[in-house]
Amino acid sequence: MIGIALSKMEAYVIDWLNLGLRWLHFVAGVAWIGASLYFVMLDLSLQSPNKPEDAKRGVHGELWAVHGGGFYQSQKFLAGPKGEPLSENLHWSKWEAYTTWLSGMGLMAIIYWYGATAFLIDRSTMELSAPAAIAISAGSLVAGWLVYDALCKAVRHELTLSIIMYALLVAAAWGYGQVFGARAAYVHAGALIGTIMVWNVFFHIIPGQTKMVNAIRAGRGPEPRYGIVGKQRSVHNTYFTLPVLFIMISGHYPMTYGHKHAWAVLAVVMLAGALIRQYFVLRHTGRKMVALPAAAAALLLGLAVAIAPASAPQAPGAAPLAYSSVQPIIAQRCIVCHAEKPSFAGFSQPPGGLKLETPAQVRAAAQRIQQQSIATRAMPIGNITNMTEEERSLLGRWLAAGARTD
């Protein structure tokens, strides 16, 4: 959709590509994050080996578990087994991460790059050409990784590094909001975090593990720095998990990405996610700090109160607005997309299945219109139909007066 109109068939094909990639992205993400959370739990739950002969074999720690009707014994060797060869049958956890990122970038390409004029650019935020917006989109992900990677190598104190990274991610969320449409800004914040996570795997964790394996099989002791760096990046990834999952689902909730201070909303959610993750990290070691999830819950509750939409004031004695006063706005700004057969280029069906072609359909959707077009201004997406503030105000007054369609 970069300056071109799509035929209905082209839009239909794009919808299927979107669906297929989204399904793959979701499934791969479940596999990757599930494996990541499991190995963090496993690593933190290890106990010293019970058998002296296991310690002599190089076993650093072990964990017994029961699942699916059977019993499992997991053992960790920091530098491989002693006195015996490293198994050739090694399981590598990497394709889940790579598939998640590649499918996510596929979604980015077909939704926000191919559909830049509709979904990426909001001209009320910044006037951009499609090529410029796409260049900023892709370039920011690479730049974000380079900054993060450089900081990891330069800052040795992990708490200091965490604070700096948190501040930079919040700044990135704010910056995206100054350039792109509201929902695209949130998606890019998530894409930046996801890129950092996957590139940690691709550039550090897997290469380091490969060098360790090669050294062990060559009869040499592996260099400790590969394990140290791999551990550091894996720990970072586990704290990124909950924020990036939140961003993945936030597109269904315009009260978050559509808020005028959306970056601050995300900042609070990221902090709450980190506190929740820290609770589980500590719990795996036997420490139960209930204050952490309690603090996270308090942050989220405070956020919900702070961003609650205010009721639109109704002037005393004001006559209710007739539907005829807002019908032209609905027709010009909404129905082009929200119709049985949308006329706006690139849409083969109404977004979210929402149709606004009849007064009854509009009245039934009054709450959604209030939330998405008035309270958060998230719709029209990217303001692609150029709804004015005066039109939003009139629509809001009609809704506040009862959304009469008689």
Reported as a single tens digit per residue, the pLDDT across 299-356 is: 999 999 999 987 655 555 556 788 988 999 999 999 988 998 888 776 778 887 899 9
Of 185, 184, 165, whose CA–CA distance to 175 is shortest? Answer: 185
Domain boundaries, the chain: 46-77, 93-306, 323-400
| Average pLDDT of the residues of the chain | 92
Reading the block at residue 169, the tokens are 């991610």
Angle at 264 between CA 106 and CA 377, to 5 degrees: 70
Band the pLDDT of 27: cuts 50, 70, 90.
Answer: very high
Give every CB contact of residue 273 below 8 A, 6+ residues apart in sequence: 239, 241, 242, 243, 246, 296
Which backbone phi and psi does 71 adopt, to 5 degrees? Answer: -120, 140
Reported as a single tens digit per residue, the pLDDT across 173-222 is: 999 999 999 999 999 999 999 999 999 999 999 999 999 999 999 988 89
Which backbone phi and psi does 74 adopt, to 5 degrees? Answer: -105, 135
Contact (CB, 8 A) for 111 and 171 = no
